């Protein structure tokens, strides 16, 4: 009998979780930005801007490599390249080919194609050399990695000494009144919006449930330290709806 894990509010074997995650994102790839707008009320754009502000891409011509894991549509990479100097290059990795196809199309339209590449890859087995990237990011993707510890270890492995890891993920709301409103919106409204807009309530229900299953900030910080990240910290945003987790390879 294989290991099992909570998937949403169901018990699902770990080796089945990746297939279920793939099914979700195959079904929503073309409407991913709309999905994020609906789930966050448009706030995901400000949260991603905050992540890139913390990342501080260099402005000069010195080579600087960014890896954005589970970044299929390119949101974080495009933002980073938009403020970085000409020496910057981004690699977007994602296990889902449909998401990567959307990202490639957007890169061509934004004239970033010479500074960015898209690689189909599993976050638990990244196909990159050790100590290869100056920075590694993952936004709203770590909770969908079946073995989060393996994903963190891989992201640490490919990071250069002195490099920074930043993770943007949904978190635990700190304000009781806001938590009640947020829970009602998440579980009652979002799946129905998904049904109306895409005809797929189940994918949206999974996304909501995966958020609630994700470890709290202290637990996730401990997982990052176990993966050998140093100077680990978390910055909650919007009353704790999301948090930016930061760590360094030192």
- The CATH number covering residue 48 comes to 3.40.50.150
* Nearest Cα residue to 18 out of 170, 202, 141, 165: 141
Q: What is the pLDDT of residue 212?
A: 80
| Tally of domains in the chain | 1
Q: For the segment 163-222, what is each residue's pLDDT rounded down to a tens digit? A: 999 999 999 888 777 777 877 777 778 777 777 776 777 777 777 777 888 899 999 999
Q: Which residues pair with 118 in a beta bridge?
A: 92
State residue 187's pLDDT score. 73
Burial bucket for residue 35 (CB in 10 Å: 0-12, 13-18, 19+): buried
Q: Are strands 4-7 and 10-13 parallel, antiparallel or unpaired?
A: antiparallel
How would you write the pLDDT of the chain (250 residues) with one tens digit per residue? Answer: 333 333 334 454 555 555 555 556 665 666 677 777 777 778 999 999 999 999 999 999 999 999 999 998 899 999 999 999 999 999 999 999 988 999 999 999 988 878 999 999 999 999 999 999 999 999 999 998 989 999 999 999 999 999 999 999 999 888 777 777 877 777 778 777 777 776 777 777 777 777 888 899 999 999 999 999 999 999 999 999 999 999 999 9
pTM for the predicted model, two decimal places: 0.85
Residues 28 and 104: their CA atoms lie apart, in Å, by 16
* Structural domain containing residue 116: 4-248
């Amino acid at each position: 009998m294989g290991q099992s894990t909570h998937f949403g509010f169901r018990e699902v074997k770990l080796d089945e979780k990746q297939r279920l995650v793939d099914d979700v994102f195959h079904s929503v790839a073309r409407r991913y930005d709309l999905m994020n707008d609906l789930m966050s009320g448009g706030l995901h754009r400000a949260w991603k801007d905050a992540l890139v502000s913390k990342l501080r891409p260099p402005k000069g011509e010195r080579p600087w490599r960014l890896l954005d894991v589970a970044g299929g549509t390119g949101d974080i990479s495009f933002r980073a390249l938009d403020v970085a100097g000409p020496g910057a290059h981004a690699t977007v990795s994602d296990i889902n080919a449909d998401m990567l196809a959307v990202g490639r199309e957007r890169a061509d339209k934004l004239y970033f194609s010479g500074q960015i590449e898209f690689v189909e890859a599993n976050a638990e087995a990244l196909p990159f050399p050790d100590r290869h990237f100056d920075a590694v990011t993952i936004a709203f993707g770590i909770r969908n990695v079946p073995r989060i510890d393996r994903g963190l270890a891989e992201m640490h492995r490919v990071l250069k000494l002195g490099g920074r890891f930043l993770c943007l993920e949904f978190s635990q709301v700190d304000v009781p009144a806001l938590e009640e409103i947020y829970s009602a919106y998440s579980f009652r409204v979002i799946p129905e919006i998904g049904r109306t807009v895409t005809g797929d309530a189940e994918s949206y229900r999974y996304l909501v449930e995966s958020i609630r299953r994700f470890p709290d900030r202290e637990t996730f910080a401990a997982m990052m330290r176990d993966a050998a990240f140093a100077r680990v910290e978390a910055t909650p945003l919007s009353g704790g709806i999301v948090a930016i987790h930061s760590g360094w390879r030192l």
